[in-house]
Structure 1
Amino acid sequence: MNHQAKKKFGQNFIRDKNLLMKIVRESNIEDKNVIEVGPGQGALTTFLASNAKKVIAYEIDHSLKPFLDAIKNEYENLEIIYEDFLEADISQYTEDLHVVANVPYYITTPILFKILETDNIKTASLMIQKEVCDRLLAKPNHKQYNALSIILQYQAHVSKMMDVKRQMFFPIPNVDSAVIRIVKRDEPLIEKDKELVFVRLVKEAFKQKRKTLVNNWYEAYHVNKQELEMFLKSNGYSPNVRAEALAVEDFIKLARMWSYD
């Protein structure tokens, strides 16, 4: 069977069996329920189905059905759903789920947010663009550090599993990749009633990276700048501090003390 990779779906297929086995092995999915996003021609799917309790694979490209149906015939624990994962109702599953996927670059962020927002997804191993992986793992005062870095690190333990050279894909993409490992925290780092405050504070703080926290928050919350400066100083921060200088713990501290709408 031949299949022409579709650019509109961000299709780049991996065929290196050693790499695929390593991803599955380090994802710790033995006897667990797995979701695969974009199984493509099923190279990773086969190894997942051989190790997991159950695999639910979401594929948006119906032209890949012949490849995937051939694999499905070999594994009773494999379910293939021809639907956009971003539109899928994952809440229908009551069991804990673990995502393993070679993610199309153009929808990396929406997939990340869906994983974070779905309570019964406990871990994820995602093949993503290396630059994006570095950004998600970035620490304060690094040029790639941003709001998503903080929100992800707040919600989960995040690490890099491995780098993957572009030559391991077909067709070969323009950039290298990496596999990121996300393990959600058992307990939130902040009280439930402060979570939305924390997330908004972080997002607004990075709206314009060149601006100070005071200027970004002034534009978002319309609180007097002198009052915002006093708020920062009273909590031990310079009134001229920028978002990129603050760690997750700093934003948690400020969210707990925040009293503005």
Structure 2
Amino acid sequence: MQHQAKKRYGQNFLRDKNLLKKIVNQSHILNKDVIEVGPGQGALTSFLAEQAHQLTCFEIDTSLKSILDPIEEQYDNLEIIYKDFMTADLTDLGDDLHVVANVPYYITTPIIFKLIETPQIKTASLMIQKEVCERLIAKPGTKAYNNLSVVMAYHAHVYKMMDVKRHMFVPQPNVDSAVIRIEKRDKALLDPKAEKIFISIVRTAFKQKRKTLVNNWFEAYQIPKEDIINFLKSFDINENIRAEKIAIEQFMKLAGAWTYDI
């Protein structure tokens, strides 16, 4: 059945069965409760339903109902909910959830943060824009390293599962993609107060990447530059350093010792 891909929903459909099977197999969802965000035409959905204990799909485009209904009828463990995932309450879906999805590029970051902020979601395997994938897994000192790299490393173990070329999608997007694996940590690395400080100082540290840590924090918090310099020196950190050179472990130590208002 033909369906015209809708640009406003970022619809690019993947149909290569071998690749779809590979994604599902490497997502380790056998007999687990799974969420698919944006099943589209259901290419991935069937493979997920065959392995999952329970599969819940959130689809915002109701015009896909005529395509997805026959798939839903095939599987007793499949429920398709026609609702925006970003506004969905996941409370009743269980406390050990695993997400597998081909994520629309325009809403990738908000979806990732919802996954991180939802305690019952334990893992996620996401098809995303390759450039975003590189940021998520970037290491200190590299061009792609930014605040998202640090925040993701704090919340989860993150690695790239595979690259996916643009020609494998219909319609073909203008960029290549990658499948990223997010495995959330069992417990927080910092106490709630230090975690709040950590998130804030990381975000402001990268606000203008070409500025030094001192200048970014001075502008964000109006702390005297001399105080920030002395604070950094107490950790043997050069006053001219930029955020891209600071590893997550250093940011955590800084957050633990931070005494300024944020």
Q: Identify the residue that residue 119 of structure 1 maps to in structure 2.
A: 119
The match for 1:97 is: 97
Partner residue in 2 for 1:85: 85
Aligned to 1:199: 199
Q: Which whole-Å CA distance do the structure 1 matches of 2:218 and 2:164 have between them?
A: 42
- Residue 90 of structure 1: how far off its partner (Å): 1.6
Is the CA contact (8 Å cut-off) linking 1:91 and 1:118 kept in structure 2? no
Q: For 1:13-56, what per-residue CA distance to the aligned partner results, in whole angstroms no more than 9, with x for missing partners?
A: 01100000000000000000000000000000000000000111
- The one-letter code sitting in structure 2 at the alignment partner of 1:233 is K
CA distance in 1, matches of 2:205, 2:92: 35
Structure 2 length normalisation: TM-score? Answer: 0.98
> Which amino acid is the alignment partner of residue 251 of structure 2?
F
Q: After the TM superposition, which parts of structure 1 deviate over 2 Å for at least 4 consecutive aligned residues? A: 91-95
CA distance in 1, matches of 2:215, 2:62: 49
Question: Which amino acid letter does the alignment assign opposite residue 129 of structure 1?
Answer: Q
CA RMSD across the alignment: 0.8
TM-score of the superposed pair, with normalisation by structure 1: 0.98
Q: Aligned residues: percent identity?
A: 64
Spell out, residue by residue over 1:196-218, the C-alpha distance to the aligned partner (whole angstroms, 9 max, x if none).
10000100101111111111111
In the alignment, the residues of structure 2 paired with residue 181 and residue 231 of structure 1 have an alpha-carbon distance, to the nearest angstrom, of 36
CA contact 2:61–2:82 (8 Å) conserved in 1? yes
2:39 — aligned with what? 39
- Cα deviation for residue 91 of structure 1 reads 2.6
Q: In 1, distance between residues paired with 2:35 and 2:84?
A: 13
Distance 2:30 2:192 in 1: 32
The code of the aligned residue for 2:131 comes to: E
Aligned to 2:239: 239
5+ residue gaps, structure 1, are none
- Counterpart amino acid of 2:172? I
**CA distance, structure 1, for counterparts of residue 142 and residue 204 of structure 2:** 18
Tell me, yes or no, if the aligned pair for 1:34 and 1:54 is still in contact at 8 Å.
Answer: yes
Q: Does the Cα contact within 8 Å between 1:36 and 1:57 map onto a contact in 2?
A: yes
SS in 2 for 1:43: coil
Gaps of 5+ in 2: none
- Partner Cα separation in structure 1 for residue 94 and residue 10 of structure 2: 30
